[in-house]
Amino acid sequence: MDDLTVVREFEADVAPLTDDARFAARARLRREIVRDGRPGALSRRLMLRVAVVGTATAAVAGGVVVAGRHDGGGGADASRMATLSAAELLHKAAARSRADSAGTPVPRDDQYVYTKMFITRTYVKGGKHRTWTDESWMSVDGSKPSRRQEYGKIHRDPPLGKHEVMWPPTEYAKLAKWPTDPDKLLDRLRMGLGADDTSVKWSVGSDKAREAPMSQGDIDRMAFANAVQFFVVPRIMPPGLEAATFEAVARIPGIRIDRKAVDGLGRKGVAVSYPEFDFAFIFDATDYTYLGLRLKGSTADVVDGKFKHRDWYHEMRAREELGVVDRIGQRP
């Protein structure tokens, strides 16, 4: 049984949530998840809730993508890149996104989002290398069945039901309501939490009895993970939203740049990440086009409500194609 099927069955008896209830639930879940960046301390029931709402940890096709520490390096690969900061890179990527999306028509509700993704995975132990080319057709408004491919396995997803919660949403109409002002978007990515909000607490380490206020660093780490969620699940962004996402991330203190990144297709890139996360955005080193994601994960078993990680791997996800088509099987 795949994870999305488990999630749907789990949510089948849950009443529809209001927007306020969803927001509160997401905030509560993230306060749990942000603890050391480890999903292992969460119960299976909570992990299912996490999968429904969308988090920094994604249980996908038998694997667990983990937002953990990354020891990336630096160094310049061209003189013009040598002094470019992570924030400056993101602003250039935003400008590139706006230029590329200019004049893009609004998709119809009866159409599909087509994506083609090339994935390369290298296992830490033994260095085994695997690759996949995944194609997916996702209903624009969620009202039609979709066909999604993950690591070569095809999933035929039913229409989105009233009990299902995706965050950020995949439906174009819902995304169109999101702010494209970078400051307002960053506030949403931070779940409305600020440095002075000391009433929000989270568990310290593995001791659930000890709690402390979330620091600004915890909140910013969560915001970065939420921004990554826009690119994990296939979706078409309304005009300005992708650019605003890059500009919002540019406002997060502590983001860093890796000038020697390479995406899954071997394209030379520049990566932006946040301390203590293995997730990173990769952009073209020449024109700053978004290329894909870099991450670390593992296959895992659930034992006594906790994830037991094994077979750790490094993964690169390269976005080869993104478009809108009229039917499943059609390509742009």
pLDDT band at 315; cut points 50, 70, 90: very high
Residue 180 falls inside a structural domain: yes
In a domain, 314, yes or no: yes
pLDDT tens sequence across 44-64: 333 333 333 333 333 333 344
Query: How far is residue 61's CA from residue 271's CA, in Å, rounded to a whole number?
Result: 26
Q: Is residue 221 part of a domain?
A: yes
Is residue 330, in this structure, part of any structural domain at all? Answer: no
Question: For residue 81, is it within any domain?
Answer: yes
* Distance separating alpha carbons of residues 176 and 241, to the nearest angstrom: 8
Question: Using only C-alpha atoms, what is the Rg of the chain?
Answer: 19
**Cα–chain-centroid distance for residue 331?**
24
Residue 331 belongs to some domain of the structure: no
**Quick one: which of 292, 282, 296, 276 has its CA closest to 221?**
276
For residue 119, which of 286, 292, 303, 237 has the smallest C-alpha distance?
A: 292
Q: What local confidence, expressed as pLDDT, does residue 72 receive?
A: 41
In a domain, 313, yes or no: yes
b (16+ CB within 10 A) / e for 39-75: bbbbeeebbbbbbbbbbbbbbbbebbbbbbebeeeee
Domain count for the chain: 1
> Does residue 275 sit within a domain?
yes
Q: Is the pLDDT of residue 268 over 50?
A: yes
Per-residue pLDDT band at 227 (split at 50, 70, 90): very high
Q: Is pLDDT of 185 > 50?
A: yes
Q: Which structural domain, as residue segments, surrounds residue 33?
A: 3-325
pTM for this model (two decimals): 0.74
Q: What is the pLDDT of residues 217-226, one digit of tens each?
A: 889 999 999 9
| Alpha-carbon dihedral angle through residues 326, 8, 230, 42, given to the nearest 10 degrees | -170
